[in-house]
A and B are shown apart, each in its own frame.
Chain A
Amino acid sequence: MSNSGNITIRLKGIKKLYKIGQQEVAALNGIDLDIKEGEFAALMGPSGSGKSTLMNILGCLDRPSVGSYMLDGQEVAHLTDDQLAATRNKKIGFVFQNFNLLSRISALDNVALPLVYAGVGTSEREEKAMYYLEQVGLADRADHQPNELSGGQRQRVAIARALVNNPQIIMADEPTGNLDTKSTKEIMEIFQKMHNMGRTIILVTHEPEIAVCASRQLLVRDGVITRDEGKGVVLDVV
């Protein structure tokens, strides 16, 4: 463990304001946050705390109303929709609570989907998708459709999809929320493995036992970060 590493994410004075009727409500009320390359951060907080909004902004799905968001040295707070899409495609891999796989296509095609939008050719797509399916131990399920897989298997397909474009950051939103204990353990082991390989992981959860797997715990409450433990702890890349 060390405190070295480049800063991948730097949020400064991030606010997200919603208008409800005549009133302005701040979902995020001034967030300052640095996350270094290779960190494994858990984002916790009760529902309504603003952690989902923060997650959306970190994942480039949404723009902040106020503030600056430097991702990998690039200001992304004011990018256009298509530029945000390209950023998501190249730099961020998503893992969702309800897997969000396309039900009509095979596991392999699901994994290959981000490569379609990255403009990668068919044969290379299949090759890469197959490699990452092997990494999550599902090479033999490549031709199965998501509804033929168990919850844990589906989440592993989703992880392979998050990894396929080799992004710097993995965003996981309650990845174990819909899984049984055994699958949860498997999935957390995979996250642990990814962390050991030096990837930056941001994990949103409300289960403390999941959060302890991360090296850094952030608590969001009423739109601000109220607790930040284990900051800057990065595994040395071996």
Chain B
Amino acid sequence: MAFTALLANKMRSLLTMLGIIIGVGAVIAMVSVGMGVRSNVVDSISSLGSNMLIVSPGSSNSGGVRGAAGSRTTLKYEDATAIKNKVKNIDYVSPSVSHSYQVVNGNQNWNTSVQGVTQEYMSIRSLEISSGSFITVNDITKRNRVAVVGSTVATNLFGTSNPVGQNIRINNQPFKIIGVLDSKGQSSMGQDQDDVVIVPLTTAMERLMAQNYVSSINIQVSDSEMMDQVQEDVEILLRQRHKIIGGKEDDFTVRNLTSLMETMTQTTTMLTLLLGSIAGISLVVGGIGIMNIMMVSVTERTREIGIRKALGATFKNIMMQFLIESVVIGVVGGIIGIIIGCILSTVVSQLGSFTTVITPLPIFVSFTFSVGIGLFFGIYPARKAAKLDPIEALRYE
């Protein structure tokens, strides 16, 4: 019965549905764009290494004059070893030092960050080697003058030729290139992650920089649930080792990449919600369109309602007839909207170099919403129809 009435006014039904179609389509497209941004952010943060804790030295303090963060020299290689041995739920511990040096190959030179790390660094930072190999335990113990270069450094010093096996000079000391890193591109903070030279930690500390302290310790925790616990354990251990008692200030800081990730995810979730709710407004507008058309339909069919009532239709019968009609508009419009929304977000991801993620939740929510809107905005006109006085309805021209 509802279908007959809707089919009798095809153009009108279609236009009414259009409001719902656009609403649902927009919600799905917008939310999938938002989810796409979110998964981009999550990917780029986890490319820094997941479940990471970074220990860095605090600022120095001599006679009340405080130095820059990281200027303390109290964080030692032995601290890293102690953390690895004494704190539970840790996969890797990688202490590192870094300094900017001029790197030279023949008549080419490049100023870059040289990092002294251990072999675990590769796993922690999720690095990939595109050719050659990474630093080994052997290189660490023997303080070998070997280096792994990032792709930016490789291009600037060697152009297109393969640098593996070639020699470069770092701070006028010869190093042999044993590997080239896979390109990681820019970090989410806009840093070029490929502009780096990696050398064994011991070589860097003793041969290049002549220092006995490290500039940071990266810790990979085995389980993301354990992050806070491990962070606390590391802090307690380091305070013990550095003999910091009571309320005295730490001479180090432990940062947590997961909390950064959480903040970013929260931000993008807010963004998604914002986009979704703006699109949701058009869904409500579509619902008002349904109400409008149903009101017209009730007025137009006053006589029909009168006839039905004279023949014995009850309040409920008439109410249901019009409610079903508006719900059908909601359902059909919702389904078409879902299809269009999915197509739209696929097109967006194809055209822009943009990831969109279609998840079942916004589809389910916007569909339920569109059916609900059909129901909600149908109730008033349906009630109006059902409450009509049969005599007046029959007299209506």
| A contact residues vs B (CB 8 Å cutoff) | 56, 59, 61-62, 81-82, 85-86, 88-90, 94, 96, 100-102, 104-105, 113-114, 117-118, 161, 165
The answer on a CB contact under 8 Å between A100 and B394 is: yes
Stretch of B43-51, B86-94, B313-321 that contacts chain A:
B313-321
Is the CB of B68 closer than 8 A to any CB of chain A?
Answer: no
> Could you tell me how many residues of chain B have their Cβ less than 8 Å away from some Cβ of chain A?
20
The answer on a CB contact under 8 Å between B391 and A85 is: no
| B contact residues vs A (CB 8 Å cutoff) | 4-5, 8, 303-304, 306-317, 390-391, 394
Q: How far is the CA of A78 from the CA of B71 in the complex (A)?
A: 94
CB<8 Å pairs between A and B, sample of 17: A56-B391, A59-B310, A81-B315, A85-B309, A85-B312, A85-B313, A86-B312, A88-B310, A96-B394, A100-B306, A104-B4, A113-B308, A114-B311, A117-B308, A117-B313, A117-B314, A117-B317
Residues of B within 8 A of A56 (CB): 391
Residues of B within 8 A of A62 (CB): 391
Given contacts A56-B391, A94-B310, A100-B306, 17 further A-B contacts (CB under 8 A): A59-B310, A61-B391, A62-B391, A82-B315, A82-B316, A85-B309, A85-B313, A85-B314, A86-B312, A88-B311, A104-B8, A105-B4, A114-B311, A117-B308, A117-B311, A117-B317, A165-B312
Q: Is the interface of B mostly helix, strand, loop or mixed?
A: helix
The answer on a CB contact under 8 Å between B307 and A104 is: no
Nearest B residue to A118 via CB reads B312
The 5 closest A-B pairs by CB, nearest first: A89-B312, A117-B312, A82-B314, A114-B311, A85-B314
Q: How far is the CA of A102 from the CA of B315 in the complex (A)?
A: 19
Residues of B within 8 A of A61 (CB): 310, 390-391, 394
Q: Which of A85, A101, A165 has the most CB of B within 10 A?
A: A85
Within the complex, the shortest CB–CB distance from B312 to chain A, in Å, comes to 2
The answer on a CB contact under 8 Å between B312 and A100 is: no
Within the complex, the shortest CB–CB distance from A111 to chain B, in Å, comes to 11
Within the complex, the shortest CB–CB distance from A32 to chain B, in Å, comes to 23
Nearest A residue to B312 via CB reads A89
Residues of B within 8 A of A82 (CB): 314-316
Contact A161-B315, Cβ < 8 Å, known A100-B394, A102-B304, A105-B4? no
The answer on a CB contact under 8 Å between A86 and B311 is: no
Q: How far is the CA of A88 from the CA of B5 in the complex (A)?
A: 25
Residues of A within 8 A of B308 (CB): 113, 117
Q: How far is the CA of A85 from the CA of B303 in the complex (A)?
A: 16
Q: How far is the CA of A89 from the CA of B390 in the complex (A)?
A: 13
Nearest B residue to A59 via CB reads B310
